[in-house]
Structure formats: C-alpha cells, structure tokens
Structure 1
C-alpha cells in the first residue's frame, strides 16, 4: 500500500470532521436574533467611551523583533552543534559550513540596523522630533 494514500486519507478525515461538525451545529442551533447579542461585552459592565482607542504600536514592534531574533537563536544553535562535524566532512569544508551562516547573520544585522534607523527599537520617542516630522509633511 502506498503511504501517500494513508496521508491523503488522514488529511481528508482531518478536514471532513471539523466541517461536518460545523455543518451539523449550524443546522441544529436555534437562531434567535436579539439586540443583546450584538452589543459589545465588557465583562458584564456597560461600556463607556468609544471603541476606537489609540495604543502604542511600539509593543507590537518590539514583540516582532523579539520573535525574529528568537527564531535566529533557534536556527543558530543547531548549526553550532554540528559545525565541527560539518567542517571535517568531505566536500563541505570551512567555507561550505561557515559562509551560509555568516550570510544569515549578516542579513539579520542589516535588518536590525534598518529597524534601528526607522526607530522601531526606540521605546520613548521625543515629542519635538515627532512634531517636526509632522510639520515637514
């Protein structure tokens, strides 16, 4: 028996079960539209103020940079473990083992430099500089 048949059958079952459950639940559930179901839920409290609030996007920028450099660590660690064996292998040599990782780290350093220049790693921005950039536009 071809192993791809088993993989295809598993993928088909993995798709059919959730789709079937959603279809059955949509057919069986009651549909009672009312005003209370469309209101904003604020932990049982009556919401005050507008729903559009301004927040600092810097939290997301720092989190994104953390994820990028965390993945870098995850990719560099196994490379350091096998580096000595890769250099001693026939046909790989020092250049074949070192240059790809140096290129990878170089791309990340260029990306960090770009993010730094764009101000993505500055937590507190100077209000006078931001006002100057608004005035320039």
Structure 2
C-alpha cells in the first residue's frame, strides 16, 4: 500500500513539474503550444504503459491453481461447485438457473447448501472464503 501511495505521489509531482515547465516555456515564448501538448501526451503515454505492465504482472501472479482436494473435503457436489463458480462470476439465481437449465428454487437450495458448507452468511462472504481456499 505504501508503494502505491509513493508511486502516485511521484506521478502527481511529475505532472505538476510538467505543467510548471509548460507554463514557463509558454510565457518565455521558446516553444509553441503544440510542442508542449506533445510532451504532455508522451508523458501520459509512458505512465499508462508503466501502469499497464504493473497491472498485468499482478494479474498473472494471482492466478493460482484450484485445490480440488479442498473441494472434496468440504463435501461440495459437482453441481454445487458449478453454482459457486457462477455466483463468483456475479450472476443472479435466475441467471444461473437459466444457464444450468434448472429451476430457480433448485439454485436457491444449492446456494443455501454452499453457505452452510463454507460457513458463510452471505454470497459475497462465500466467494471470499472460496478464493481464500483456492477453490475458485
């Protein structure tokens, strides 16, 4: 967290310095406004590439393998596990029912069973627990 704050603080500082430099060059008449805008655009382009590379590295690092043994230990059936994956993708009970070709009450039963087996009170808590256990 401290590293993120430091990086954004440095970016804001660099941006302020860039604006001050552009203001100075505009007042002194050394450069035209097009050059100043090109420099600002290149700076933001570089910052965007830097942030994109950082976010891609974090995304690859968080891709853990699924612990199938833990799924068996929890006693999740194949259908309950399918419902859990769909819940984690953000679908409602009706959308899950339509996708899996079952009734909405069946999905409600599966979600209820999931909450009991994962010792969760809400769907969001069940997703958090599932991610912590590396089962989704």
Same structural fold, with TM-score higher than 0.5 when normalized by the shorter chain: no
Answer 1 or 2: higher relative contact order, Cα 8 Å, separation at least 6. 2
Q: Which has the higher helix share?
A: 2
Give the TM-score of the pair, scaled to structure 1.
Answer: 0.37
Q: Which has the larger radius of gyration?
A: 1
